[in-house]
């Protein structure tokens, strides 16, 4: 019987972010980075669409730097799943539970009752905490049923884009750290192989404390950052109980596929 697999995605939780700043608010995740196999992945480009697609398909779509495409002058639309010429890991293994995989907006969900919060673009404390707790519920439910699980949290990226308020950062990171602890503990109890992976890190780009968001003029049902406090940094975090080291994001896909194919 093969090992089951849990993949925890943490959008924006780079290796440097954890080691230099956020680790003080995420003691369990920080401890994992010292007690299990942990790698700092140097990135070619710190962009979410391209990197999450690479992680979950093994294909590097160099053109895929935005979740949107221009249709006319200043009018844009969301890129659709069918426009990505890739086969995702959940296409190969259709019984997987996929929760909030941000390869497109809104994120992909399969075999779960989870619904992306605010199109996967939550920018309030309420939305961040709801995403954390909703993913906790559905991911634990899937683990209890012995399913292979991918669960991606976008809150670190969304939060740091628009705030440097340490009280807010601490509150959200503490909640996220506890959910990661629960997921990893459950996975290890059930003899799962597990991976924690991010798509990039975050770095301070503004001295201000608070940024701004606004509805898009062409897609008012989603909001965009109009003033950023943190931007993306070119390193990703990998932690795993597989004992396998990685050099790039494509290696993570290879490990997932190897485990699921056994």
In the chain, the percentage of residues whose pLDDT exceeds 90 is 96
CA dist 9 and 154 (Å) reads 8
* Residue 218: alpha-carbon gap to chain centroid: 26
User: Tell me: the pLDDT tens digits for 179-191?
Assistant: 999 999 999 999 9
| Domain extent listing, the chain | 5-261
User: CATH fold of 5-261, please?
Assistant: Alkaline Phosphatase, subunit A (3.40.720)
CA dist 176 and 170 (Å) reads 10
CA dist 148 and 93 (Å) reads 9
* 1-5, 158-162, 194-198: range with lowest mean pLDDT: 1-5
What residues contact 55, with CB distance under 8 A and at least 6 apart? 9, 197, 199, 249, 252, 253
Q: Please, what is the end-to-end C-alpha distance for the chain in angstroms?
A: 8
Contact criterion met (CB below 8 Å) for 108 and 90: yes
* Integer angstrom CA distances of residue 44 from 161, 214, 243: 21, 30, 24
Cis ω before 70 (30° cut-off from 0) = no
CA dist 169 and 23 (Å) reads 11
User: Tell me: the pLDDT tens digits for 70-80?
Assistant: 998 889 999 99
Antiparallel, parallel or unpaired: β 230-233 and 201-204: antiparallel
Tell me, what DSSP letter sits at residue 1? -
pTM over cut 0.95: yes
């Amino acid at each position: 019987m093969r090992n089951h697999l849990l993949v925890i995605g943490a959008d924006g939780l780079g290796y440097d972010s954890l080691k230099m700043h956020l680790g003080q608010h995420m003691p369990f995740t920080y401890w994992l980075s010292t007690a299990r196999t942990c790698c700092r992945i140097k990135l070619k480009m710190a962009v979410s669409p391209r990197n999450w697609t690479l992680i979950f398909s093994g294909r590097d779509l160099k053109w895929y730097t935005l979740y949107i495409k221009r249709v006319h002058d200043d009018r844009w639309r969301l890129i659709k799943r069918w426009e990505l010429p890739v086969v995702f890991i959940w296409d190969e293994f259709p019984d997987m539970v996929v929760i909030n995989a941000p390869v497109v907006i809104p994120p992909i969900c399969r075999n779960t009752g989870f619904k992306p919060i605010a199109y996967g673009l939550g920018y309030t404390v309420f939305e961040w905490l709801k995403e954390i707790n909703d993913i906790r519920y559905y991911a634990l439910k899937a683990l209890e049923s012995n399913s292979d699980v991918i669960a991606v949290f976008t809150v670190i990226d969304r939060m740091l884009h628009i705030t440097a308020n340490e009280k807010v950062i601490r509150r959200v990171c503490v909640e996220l750290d506890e959910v990661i602890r629960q997921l990893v503990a459950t996975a290890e109890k059930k003899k799962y192989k597990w991976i924690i992976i991010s798509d990039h890190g975050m770095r301070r780009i503004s001295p201000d404390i608070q940024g701004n968001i606004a509805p898009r003029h062409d897609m008012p049902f989603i909001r965009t950052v109009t003033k950023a406090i943190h931007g993306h940094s070119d390193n990703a975090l990998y932690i795993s109980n597989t004992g396998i080291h990685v050099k790039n994001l494509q290696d993570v896909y290879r490990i997932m596929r190897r485990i699921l194919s056994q």
